[in-house]
Amino acid sequence: MDPTPVIGPGAPLRLDPARPPVVLCCLPGGRCTTDYFDLQVPGHADYSMADYLASRGYVVVAFDHVGVGASTEVEEIVLVTPRMAAVVNDRAYRFVLDGLAAGTLLPELGAPAGMSAVGVGHSMGGMLLTVQQARHGTFDAVAVLGHGGIGLPEFLTEAERNLADHPPIREQDVVELARARFAGVPLDGTSPPAPGAFLARDVPKAVRAAYAAQQSTHPFSCGLTSMLPHATDGEKAEIVVPVFLGFGEHDLIRDFLGSAAAYTASGDITLFVLPGSAHCHNQASLRTVLWDRLAHWSDGISTDRREDGG
């Protein structure tokens, strides 16, 4: 059950020898593929985060979650739980990062010294990132975008709310509830979420169409876990590396400070709210403001590691 690494538009033509390289390792949200981070829209510039940051010297890597998009198909995607996805994602990113560091994956970039790896997860991908980091310590820092951990209780069934109200939450129970919730839902992403919550009103029609076209299979159990209040608070409390929390002004959740409070072991937490944005920040009008802020923060992580001898 391996995901398929996609490294292309997110690789800079060359690295700045005076600046330690930063690798942004991206995990898309529910229904989304790697195209969320590399959205190509004819006639509309700068909707690809990968292109934008690669042109500024960052390495951007993304792959589809197991069972999603170009990754290996699974017989029952509902059985893919956050812990299972975290194992696969850790394995895939360690392969990529080791290859980059050794100069074998992208020989044209050489073997960069002092490389920093920053995990970037959007929505459900942000939840999976926190599970992966807590259990496997893959990255030097994590950027969690659009995921707060306080869940979406107003959209849960009585059985789902009851599960969330009586921790610890067992993954096998989430699987069974996911089976019930998503029974009959198309696997190919043809039943999109409400655009008003995910895309702001000023997002152009062509961009909306491109966003819808990149949707794929939904990892149902992972998606439901991200909706359950405090389902992964235990993992968030174990993360000791720097944390960047990014939200849209009109995101699915609004308790931004409450979301930050879950990261009790990290002594370095940054909170950023993108003005005018709904849940899908990479399609927002001010998306490059977020990308620039994330890049600046990542540079600081790299500098701190170099000064600490990391």
Residue 249: exposure state from Cβ atoms within 10 A (0-12, 13-18, ≥19):
middle
The percent of residues in the chain predicted with pLDDT above 70, rounded, is 87
pLDDT band at 111 (very low <50, low <70, confident <90, very high): confident
Rounded Cα distance, 119 and 142, in Å: 5
pLDDT band at 14 (very low <50, low <70, confident <90, very high): low
Report the predicted TM-score, pTM, of the whole model to 2 decimal places.
0.91
Rounded Cα distance, 216 and 186, in Å: 10
pLDDT band at 1 (very low <50, low <70, confident <90, very high): very low
Rounded Cα distance, 130 and 134, in Å: 6
pLDDT band at 305 (very low <50, low <70, confident <90, very high): low
Q: Contact at 8 Å (CB) between 148 and 255?
A: yes
pLDDT per residue as tens digits for the range 123-174: 999 999 999 999 999 999 999 999 998 999 988 999 999 999 988 899 999 9
**SS3 of the chain:** CCCCEECCCCCCCCCCCCCCCEEEEEECCCCCCHHHCCCCECCECCCCHHHHHHCCCCEEEEECCCCCCCCCCCCCHHHCCHHHHHHHHHHHHHHHHHHHHHCCCCHHHCCCCCCEEEEEEECHHHHHHHHHHHHHCCCCEEEEECCCCCCCHHHCCHHHHHHHCCCCCCHHHHHHHHHHHCCCCCCCCCCCCCHHHHCCCCCCHHHHHHHHHCCCCCCHHHHHHHHCCCCCHHHHCCCCCCEEEEEECCCCCCCHHHHHCCCCCCCCEEEEEECCCCCCHHHCCCHHHHHHHHHHHHHHHHHHHHHCCC
Q: Which two tokens stand for residue 142?
A: 């994590």
pLDDT band at 185 (very low <50, low <70, confident <90, very high): low
Rounded Cα distance, 50 and 214, in Å: 15
The percent of residues in the chain predicted with pLDDT above 90, rounded, is 72
Rounded Cα distance, 208 and 195, in Å: 8
Instruction: Tell me what the pLDDT averaged over the chain comes to.
Output: 89
**pLDDT average, residue stretch 43-66:** 93
What's residue 97's pLDDT?
94
Tell me which of 161 and 8 has the higher pLDDT: 161
For CA atoms 273, 278, 279, 280, give the dihedral sign. negative
The neighbour count for residue 105, using CB atoms within 10 Å, is: 18
**pLDDT average, residue stretch 273-295:** 97
What's residue 222's pLDDT?
96
Rounded Cα distance, 267 and 264, in Å: 8
Rounded Cα distance, 292 and 303, in Å: 17
What's residue 8's pLDDT?
45
Q: Is the pLDDT assigned to residue 9 strictly greater than 60?
A: no
**pLDDT average, residue stretch 73-88:** 94
Tell me which of 106 and 157 has the higher pLDDT: 157
What's residue 199's pLDDT?
94
**Topology adopted by domain 5-307:** Rossmann fold (3.40.50)
**SS3 of 261-274:** CCCCCCCCEEEEEE
**pLDDT average, residue stretch 41-45:** 93
Q: Is the pLDDT assigned to residue 191 strictly greater than 60?
A: no
Highest mean pLDDT among 38-47, 97-106, 177-186: 38-47
What's residue 11's pLDDT?
57
Nearest to 145 by CA among 62, 266, 305, 256: 256
What's residue 21's pLDDT?
87
pLDDT per residue as tens digits for the range 257-271: 999 999 999 999 999
**pLDDT average, residue stretch 232-259:** 96
Nearest to 94 by CA among 123, 131, 137: 137
What's residue 12's pLDDT?
59
Q: Which stretch of 138-147, 237-246, 293-302 has the lowest confidence by average pLDDT? A: 293-302
Q: Is the pLDDT assigned to residue 6 strictly greater than 70?
A: no
Q: Contact at 8 Å (CB) between 147 and 235?
A: no
**pLDDT average, residue stretch 101-119:** 86
